[in-house]
Amino acid sequence: MGYAALLYDRLTIDEAELLLTANRRGLTFKKIFTKDPSMLSEMDLIDVYVAINRCESKNRALEAARRITSFNKTIINSYRVEELCSNKIKTVETLDKFGIKVPKGLFKPFPRDLHGLSNWIDEIVEEAEVKLKYPVVFKPTHGSWGRGIIKIDCRERLIEVLRENSKPSEINPEGVFLQEYVEKPGFDLRIIAYKDKWRTGILCCIARVSRRPEEFRTNTHLGGLPVGVELENYPEHVNEVLKAAEIIMQEEEYGIIALDAMPQIENIDVDYSILYKLAGECVKIYDKIREFVDENKFKRYGEWKNEMELMFQKFKMDDSYIKLKKVISSLLESSGLKIHEANSRFDYAMNTRNATGVNPAEKYVDLCLEALKDHQPS
């Protein structure tokens, strides 16, 4: 009999949701704590045919994927997908190569030594001002959760940011990556896409809404408000997202990723004040859910999961949430999309699952069960 394994370096509510879902559906995961993936051996994976890679550290996730692949095991996601998603530059370049609309970008490796620092800064500033214009966005190439992202409005600030980020770091190991600033209508989209042996599909989508106009980052870790979006109502967006998902997961039998996309509204004069007014009203309710989750995060997830779900249901029935959802829907009807990131490990148990009513853990289990069938004797 074959088994599925869950690789993790930290158990969050996302992994807890996956384990509960798998148990309800009769799938038992072999849990493997993966603090040092280089130590994984074939003995650890006896009778394991498929593994879900939920390592939070990008370096651990990459090494875990490499090791599992070397043992001829199926891993979700594959090493190729992990490598592509872990590097924002490669993600955008790959999507752009195949005709997906992405923000314009600029990458420069770090200077070899401090003697070349001034020339390095001058070259980047000159190229950024010609190619990108102000404002520009500085992004760590291997960052996540919005960490280290800076909006830059002028030359003086760009020079300052370049000086402060002229050496390798854990989230920015290779060089400086700048992107054009895309004026978002107060939100961006987080779209969960999957691939199995038969199709590439879209599982669900949320809008992540900024709390105020001056906060351009929309990550829910930074307080972005999650609002469920029925992406199937926008065929052009669906086609663009499916093409992007196929590019990222093209060589794989199984995969599941999150794509981040920025709606771009052109040639239309829009007053976004109503969106921020409604978001401000929603935040009062949503922050109570965040506080509840934070207070209970060290308790067993199964003990407080139902109460969190009830809080979300009440939140989604609130008049301000319903109106905000309609505003977002109207804006999406007149927008294009620029896809700017792909994520191989994404959060879902709190926001995406409850805002959309779709549980990505179910798709993880589906993919595992399909992979296990492949190994059954015919």
In the chain, where are the structural domains located? 3-86+368-374, 104-180, 187-359
Task: Render pLDDT for 321-357 as a digit per residue (tens, 0 to 9).
Answer: 999 999 999 999 989 999 999 999 999 999 999 999 9
Equal CATH topology for 3-86+368-374 and 104-180: no
| Number of separate helices (H) and strands (E) present in the chain | 12, 13
pLDDT at 211: 87
Which residues are 201's β-sheet partners?
194
Residue 174 pLDDT class (50, 70, 90 cuts) = confident
Q: Which CATH architecture has domain 104-180?
A: 2-Layer Sandwich (3.30)
Cα pseudo-dihedral 211, 215, 216, 219, rounded to 10: -60
Using pLDDT thresholds of 50, 70 and 90, give the confidence band for residue 147.
confident
CA 4 from chain center: how many Å? 24
Residue 161's pLDDT is 86
Q: Is the pLDDT of residue 224 over 90?
A: no
**Does the pLDDT value for residue 270 go beyond 90?**
no
**pLDDT given for residue 140 in this prediction:** 79
**pLDDT confidence band for 268 (50 / 70 / 90):** low
Query: Strand 29-33 to strand 3-8: parallel, antiparallel, or no bridges (unpaired)?
Result: parallel
Q: At residue 1, does pLDDT exceed 60?
A: no
In terms of DSSP bridges, do strands 175-180 and 105-109 run parallel, antiparallel, or are they unpaired?
antiparallel
Which CATH fold would you assign to the domain 3-86+368-374? Answer: Rossmann fold (3.40.50)
Tell which wins on pLDDT, 58 or 223.
58
Please report the pLDDT score of residue 202 as a whole number: 98
Please tell me the distance from the alpha carbon of residue 351 to that of residue 208, in angstroms, as a whole number: 10
Q: What pLDDT, in 10s, does the model give residues 188-203? A: 999 999 999 999 999 9
Closest-CA residue to 84 (of 251, 254, 261, 263): 251
121, burial (CB in 10 Å: exposed 0-12, middle 13-18, buried 19+): buried
More confident: 363 or 125: 363
Neighbours of 331 (CB within 10 A): 20
Torsion of CA 178, 180, 184, 190, to 10 degrees: -50
* Residue-averaged pLDDT of the chain: 90
Strand order across the 225-228 sheet: 225-228, 200-209, 187-195, 255-264, 336-343
SS3 122: helix
Answer for the pair 64, 53: CB distance below 8 angstroms, yes or no.
yes
Q: Rounded CA gap, 375 and 23, in Å?
A: 21
How many CA atoms lie less than 13 Å away from 95 in the CB half-sphere? 30
Report which of residues 300 and 152 the model is more confident about: 300
How far, in Å, CA of 185 to CA of 189, rounded? 11
Average pLDDT of the residues in 207-229: 81
Residue 224 has what DSSP assignment?
Answer: P
